[in-house]
């Protein structure tokens, strides 16, 4: 399971275990615009999940495209509470939902009918904990599998710590890219732990969190690996010296730069730490290079969170994680960072508790940013208007699904 799941579990309310009434599934037919068709919202209490769709104006397109009450799973297992959408824009008639741990299943939901169109287990005999899905063309996609298999060799494609190659039209596994090469020179006991995938101008990049196989042993410097989608091989690997636990990745609007967010050392430690946490910018020149680094202590005593995105070229939106200490709760904070000047401003704080501000997502061409908030209005999506200078308005809170009322955690675009 990911560290975010562990952190969220620490702040669950007692009501999480209550019996849930499933919402009625509702499909959508919407034409794509300059930013896509809309926003995918995954709501979860870490036991069950619901997936809603919004348009970029904040209107609800579907209160429930899929949920843990969805029927028709060939694996006989309902959608779990550890579900995320693909991080990159999806353009096809269905969207991929990644049921991470322990399921290890991709579920493809038809947008028009809200039916389960297909599903594919990517576990291959172990708890692979898939983290991201990147569609390359109609017949090919990549899947980042976070965990490595200590008992590999018992069945096909069961190595883990890799990028799995799948044909979503079958669906079937067709190959894998072993990422062990990217850990060359590292001490034994550390694995790639690929967390995110992105494509830019025909190039594909994978962000490797690079954690120890035994998580209590901590991490080492994270890495970004370039992959060749024609040969399904590693082109190059860049070590992000001094930055650990990097598991958020964003592509600039002009596709010339990557921004990486790193949470740093083990977040289960009772004392908040910012060591090895920060944001790094990578130039997508011929050779991937570090252009600028912002250490987490720039914003105080808390580490950078699990999500970031470009408000516009040169402007980032991201969060820092609050914590609990003897004096009480220190809230999460959402920040706006001008990467050219280094000027940063606090946009808002979580209302009461840490670990309640979730993913952020911006659609620069359409002048809006969104943030998942598990507290406001009982759980809502915050929508910010963005002006031509990349400034953010006061947010509007949107409740995407009210019948069940699971809090929003993750956002993506379709």
Measured between alpha carbons, how far is 157 from 245 in angstroms, rounded to an integer?
26
- Residue pointed to by tokens 């006991």: 189
**pTM score of the predicted model:** 0.93
Joined together, the tokens standing for residue 35 give 């930013």
pLDDT recorded at residue 268: 58
**Closest C-alpha to 215, from 238, 242, 244, 186:** 244
- Residue 248's Cα: distance from chain center in Å? 7
- Split at pLDDT 50, 70, 90, the class of 11 is very low
Identify the weakest region by mean pLDDT among 40-49, 106-115, 263-272, 288-297.
Answer: 263-272
- Split at pLDDT 50, 70, 90, the class of 218 is confident
- Split at pLDDT 50, 70, 90, the class of 23 is confident
pLDDT recorded at residue 14: 34
Q: Please report, rounded to a whole number, the percentage of residues in the chain having pLDDT higher than 90.
A: 83
pLDDT recorded at residue 266: 61
Q: What would the mean pLDDT of 241-270 be, rounded to a whole number? A: 89
Measured between alpha carbons, how far is 238 from 244 in angstroms, rounded to an integer?
13
Joined together, the tokens standing for residue 102 give 């322990």
pLDDT recorded at residue 17: 39
**Contact assessment for residue 191 and residue 161, using Cβ atoms and an 8 Å cutoff:** yes
pLDDT at residue 292 greater than cutoff 60: yes
Kind and range of the H or E element at 6?
helix 3-9
pLDDT at residue 3 greater than cutoff 90: no
pLDDT recorded at residue 293: 98
pLDDT recorded at residue 208: 98
| Cis amide prior to 102 (ω within 30 degrees) | yes
- Show the domains of the chain with their CATH numbers: 3-413 (2.130.10.10)
Query: What pLDDT, in 10s, does the model give residues 323-359?
Result: 888 888 999 999 999 999 999 999 999 999 999 999 9
Phi/psi of residue 14, each to 5°?
Answer: -60, -25
pLDDT at residue 73 greater than cutoff 60: no
DSSP code of 5? H
Query: What pLDDT, in 10s, does the model give residues 79-136?
Result: 999 999 999 999 999 999 999 999 999 999 999 999 999 999 999 999 999 999 999 9
pLDDT recorded at residue 1: 43
Comparing 187 with 47, the larger pLDDT belongs to 47
Joined together, the tokens standing for residue 270 give 């009772």
β pairing state of 315-320 and 323-325: unpaired
Distances (CA, A) of 397 to 154, 372, 400, 408: 49, 10, 10, 12
Query: What pLDDT, in 10s, does the model give residues 42-63?
Result: 999 999 999 999 999 999 999 9
Per-residue HEC secondary structure of 43-99 comes to: EECCCCEEEEEECCCCCEEEEEEEECCCCCCCCCCCCCCCEEECCCCCCCCEEEEEE
């Amino acid at each position: 399971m990911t560290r975010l799941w562990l952190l969220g579990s620490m702040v669950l309310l007692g009501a999480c275990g209550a019996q849930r009434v499933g919402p009625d599934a509702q499909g959508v037919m919407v034409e794509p615009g300059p930013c896509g068709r809309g926003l995918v919202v995954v709501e979860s209490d870490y036991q069950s999940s619901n997936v809603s769709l919004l348009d970029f104006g904040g209107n609800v397109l579907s209160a429930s495209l899929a949920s843990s009450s969805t029927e028709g799973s060939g694996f006989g297992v309902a959608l779990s509470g550890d579900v995320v959408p693909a991080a990159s824009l999806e353009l096809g008639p269905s969207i991929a939902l990644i049921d991470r741990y322990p399921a290890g299943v991709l579920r493809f939901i038809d947008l028009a009918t809200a039916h389960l169109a297909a599903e594919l287990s990517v576990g291959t005999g172990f708890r692979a904990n898939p983290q991201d899905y990147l569609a390359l063309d109609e017949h090919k996609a990549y899947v980042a599998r976070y965990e490595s298999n200590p008992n590999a060799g018992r069945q096909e494609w069961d190595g883990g710590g890799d990028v799995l190659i799948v044909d979503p039209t079958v669906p079937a596994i067709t190959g894998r890219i072993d990422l062990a090469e990217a850990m060359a020179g590292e001490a034994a006991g550390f694995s790639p732990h690929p967390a995110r995938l992105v494509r830019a101008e025909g190039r594909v990049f994978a962000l490797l969190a690079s954690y120890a196989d035994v998580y209590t042993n901590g991490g080492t410097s994270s890495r970004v690996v370039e992959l060749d989608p024609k040969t399904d091989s590693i082109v190059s690997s860049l070590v992000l010296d001094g930055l650990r636990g990097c598991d958020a990745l964003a592509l600039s609007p002009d596709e010339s730069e990557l921004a990486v967010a790193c949470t740093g050392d083990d977040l289960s430690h009772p004392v908040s730490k910012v060591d090895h946490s920060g944001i790094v910018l990578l130039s997508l020149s011929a050779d991937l290079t570090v252009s600028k680094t912002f250490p987490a202590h720039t914003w105080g005593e808390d580490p950078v969170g699990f999500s970031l995105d470009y408000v516009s070229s040169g402007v980032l939106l991201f969060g820092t994680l609050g914590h609990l200490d003897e004096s009480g709760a220190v809230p999460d904070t959402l920040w706006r960072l001008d990467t050219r000047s280094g000027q940063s401003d606090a946009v808002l704080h979580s209302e009461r508790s840490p670990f309640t501000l979730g993913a952020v997502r911006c659609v620069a061409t359409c002048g809006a940013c969104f943030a998942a908030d598990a507290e406001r209005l009982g759980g809502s999506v915050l929508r910010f208007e963005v002006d031509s200078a990349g400034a953010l308005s006061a947010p509007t809170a949107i409740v995407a699904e009210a019948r069940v009322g699971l809090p929003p955690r993750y956002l993506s675009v379709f």
